[in-house]
Chain A
């Protein structure tokens, strides 16, 4: 006999157990709602902190992107500056050589 068979001892026990009515009061005990709400709302600063953390990480990401973007946009200027600096260095060494002679 299977446990879901109506003649099985389990089925007869549960059928009897279901007839039991719970007469206990279901209303919230006095002060329960006030306490729970106070605790629930007191946890709110943690939410603010986690929101701050979330936005802080986003800010880091945006800052990184802006940095990359600024390098890309100013690449031509940067490369020109490097070339000029190299030229100056070469000229200086040439001048040193000439002055030695």
Chain B
């Protein structure tokens, strides 16, 4: 069945928003919501509701709209606002929860034990548990390092793409990735030792 909806004209919509057209502004929010909510969900800080965070991002977008010069596509510009807002919230949470075997569910502990003690891939039906463990381990890293590793290892972005999303230069992204991997290495080493005890 052909799609009857005409393609969304972003340039025209932005022009109307600049002339304070509220209907156009609502269309813009609805058009960009899937993009923003995906970023929010993948970098959501603890104890922050995803709707509150996405609202904050859209409000920043409206406040800064006059600064948008069109140097990058508009969705990229909004993505950067979303990423930096998430990072600011992560930075505000100074204390990071300690990673302990005792806090893992039975399945999570089993999956983690398996990846530490053998070299087999995680079975497909344990993907959910692996996902949870990855997020608990990521929470041990500094916010900036978390962001880099999330983008590199979960979203499989390149260094250049991460640099474009975050606004950090490529050397800084590499340094943060290196530091984060070293911390993860140390964490796994500690987990191996705890597992042996």
Contact = CB atoms under 8 A, between A and B. Distances in A.
A13 B33 CA distance: 29
B109 interface: no
Contact of A17 (B22, B27, B130, B182): B130
Q: How large is the interface on B (under 10, 10 to 19, 20 to 34, 35 or more residues)?
A: 35 or more
Interface in A1-33: 2-4, 7-20, 22, 24, 26-29, 32-33
A14 B134 contact: yes
Nearest to B182: A3
Contacts of A44: 20
Nearest to B34: A26
Instruction: Give the interface SS of chain B, mostly helix, strand, loop or mixed.
Output: helix
A10 B137 contact: yes
Interface of A: 2-4, 7-20, 22, 24, 26-29, 32-41, 43-44, 47
Interface of B: 20, 22, 25-27, 29-30, 33-34, 37-38, 41, 51, 54-55, 58-59, 61-63, 111-112, 115-116, 119-122, 124, 126-128, 130-131, 133-134, 137, 153-154, 156, 181-182, 184-185, 188
